[in-house]
Copies of this chain bind each other. A is one copy, B any other.
């Protein structure tokens, strides 16, 4: 199992020895996901969090009219799961699916506390990780209320890596910024003209 991407990612936030990284790695299980594979399905109880080593996943909910709304994209180096299901142990309301061929490392929640007791720095790591995710999500709430769809799209393009912006179906981008694919298309043609 190649843990270099994971190790590099963790060491951005906390300082771990090679021996500690080995222990951490032993808690993860690798999984290959061909394009459009559902990793966690709505209605099940999710008991793991996924670190993306390669490829890109998305988490989304389906509303009562059948429309998909994307909560998160997770390209290489990002984490993804249905946190609510993991924390509360209740049925998931999100689907987590690979957009392209991907590889993830899975960490079971049930063993996470054990890992934290063995390597307290990992609890710190996840606290920091979660704080950052919280900030980003709150930022998104504010932007959803204060920006127009066009500004949200421009922001999206500036914020996400080029791999996400340009190699992902546009309908996913629309489902992320909160507009219909038709309206995104209209906005894009307006932006080209100017």
Contacts and interface: CB of A to CB of B under 8 A. Distances in A.
Contacts of A72: 138
Nearest to A144: B144
Interface string A41-70: 000000000000000000001011001010
A84 interface: yes
A144 B84 CA distance: 17
A135 B87 CA distance: 9
A181 interface: no
A137 B141 contact: yes
A69 B179 CA distance: 20
A54 B67 CA distance: 41
A76 interface: no
- Work out how many copies of this chain go into the complex: 2
A142 interface: yes
Nearest to A87: B131
A146 interface: yes
Give 3 nearest A-B pairs by CB, closest first.
A63-B146, A127-B127, A69-B145
Interface of A: 61, 63-64, 67, 69, 71-72, 83-84, 87, 116, 120, 123-124, 126-127, 130-135, 137-142, 144-146, 178
23 contacts: A61-B142, A63-B146, A67-B146, A69-B142, A69-B146, A83-B131, A83-B135, A83-B138, A84-B135, A84-B139, A87-B135, A120-B120, A123-B123, A123-B127, A126-B127, A127-B127, A127-B130, A134-B134, A134-B137, A137-B141, A144-B144, A144-B178, A145-B178
